[in-house]
Amino acid sequence: MNRFDYIRPETVAEAVAAAARPGSACLAGGTNLLDLMKGGVTLPERIVDLTRLPGLSTVETQTDGSVRIGALVRNADLAHDRAFATRFPAIAEALLSGASGQLRNAATAGGNILQRTRCPYFADTASACNKREPGSGCDARGGENRSHAILGWSDSCIATHPSDFCVPLAALGAVVELEGPEGRREVPLVDFHRLPGDTPEIETERRAGEIVTALRLPADAAGFAAHARYLKLRERTSYAFAVVSTAAMLRIENGRIAEARIALGGVALKPWRAVEAETLLHGAEPGTAAFEQAAEAALAGARPSGDNAHKIELARRLVARALQLAAAGTPERVPALPGSPFAPVPEGMLHV
């Protein structure tokens, strides 16, 4: 780890000014940044500690009915906020399926969406990685790539985005609030993360000096609470990143699907919103045939990036399974194994 300066700003304006200086890295929970620093993947000249900034640690309902999640809200606090979990159960289930309890106690909402890929070739400074060193190549292309991308990848990068939290956020149309040298702006989460193309080192739409101040869920997002699930396939049930994951949410009226939201994780370098699959379900009767058709549509553009063709079929099946569970109704409480497709569904439904 290199020597670095440490700065603790007292205001958002001070934080933006410090973050805008070349060589700066922002610190919140530190659950990703510190690992990258210790491994020599990133070598910042200064650390800008955001943890004392005022007004970024609360969850608030706005006058228009939207819900604003401060960037410094801890993952564990958000998942265990009963009022929030009741309105957005898939988000709570996604959070509780990720990492360990200790990490959830430290990790923040803003840091979660900014976490970097867990591709082992990115983390290994002896390997070629265009994301870490542009133009060096991608050793993952001919290496161990069973868990790599099946959607949106390029010859330059086949990594995936690791977040569970981002998947239901993308499905629900969340917006990222940013504060930077040019003022405040907003970016839809589905547009915030970039696909690799020829520039995989550019990971998000965040501009130089900008910090994430909040995430906002639109007012209509709570309308899916009665039929919402998050499922996650992983190589072990506890403390593992997703091989593939799915958030599925339905609004059912008079026995028909009035609206559907579907997003996938572990399949691309961003949370993947399956808009075509959502459109197919509009007006359909909930059932196996409709859900399998939607799953086919969600993976229509998928192709292996290496030894990972199995992920396409896994993702199809997981989408169909998540839709079936969502149609059955949101459990009154999160399953004992959050996110697991193998967990028994608790008795009692939240709103049905």
Position 2 pLDDT exceeds 90? no
Model confidence over 12-66: pLDDT tens digits?
A: 999 999 999 999 999 999 999 999 999 999 999 999 999 999 999 999 999 999 9
Model confidence over 320-329: pLDDT tens digits?
A: 999 999 999 9
Q: What is the mean pLDDT of the chain?
A: 95
Find out whether 189 and 163 touch, Cβ atoms under 8 Å. no
In this prediction, residue 352 carries a pLDDT of 37
Tell me the C-alpha distance between 69 and 278, whole Å.
26
Model confidence over 123-178: pLDDT tens digits?
A: 999 999 999 999 999 999 999 999 999 999 999 999 999 999 999 999 999 999 99
CA 4 to chain centre: 29
| Other Cβ atoms closer than 10 A to 211 | 25
Percentage of residues in the chain with pLDDT exceeding 90? Answer: 93
Tell me the C-alpha distance between 314 and 183, whole Å.
43
In this prediction, residue 126 carries a pLDDT of 97
Q: Given the structure tokens 């981002």, which residue do they identify?
A: 166
| Residue, of 11 and 343, whose pLDDT is higher | 11
Q: Which residues contact 345 (CB under 8 A, 6 or more apart)?
A: 325, 328, 331, 335
Taking the CA of residue 352 as centre, how many other CA atoms within 13 Å lie in the half-sphere pointing to its CB?
Answer: 18
Joined tokens for residue 54: 């005022």
In this prediction, residue 345 carries a pLDDT of 74
Find out whether 91 and 115 touch, Cβ atoms under 8 Å. no
Q: Which residues contact 48 (CB under 8 A, 6 or more apart)?
A: 7, 9, 15, 18, 19, 24, 25, 26, 27
User: Under CATH, which architecture does the 1-54 domain have?
Assistant: 2-Layer Sandwich (3.30)
Model confidence over 266-276: pLDDT tens digits?
A: 999 999 999 99
Model confidence over 223-243: pLDDT tens digits?
A: 999 999 999 999 988 789 999
Q: Beta strands of 143-224 (E only): which ranges?
A: 175-180, 183-188, 211-217
Q: Given the structure tokens 């949410």, which residue do they identify?
A: 249
Per domain, the residue ranges of the chain are: 1-54, 56-352
Burial of 91 (C-beta count, 10 Å sphere; 0-12/13-18/19+): buried
> 56-352: what CATH class?
alpha beta
Joined tokens for residue 41: 């993947």
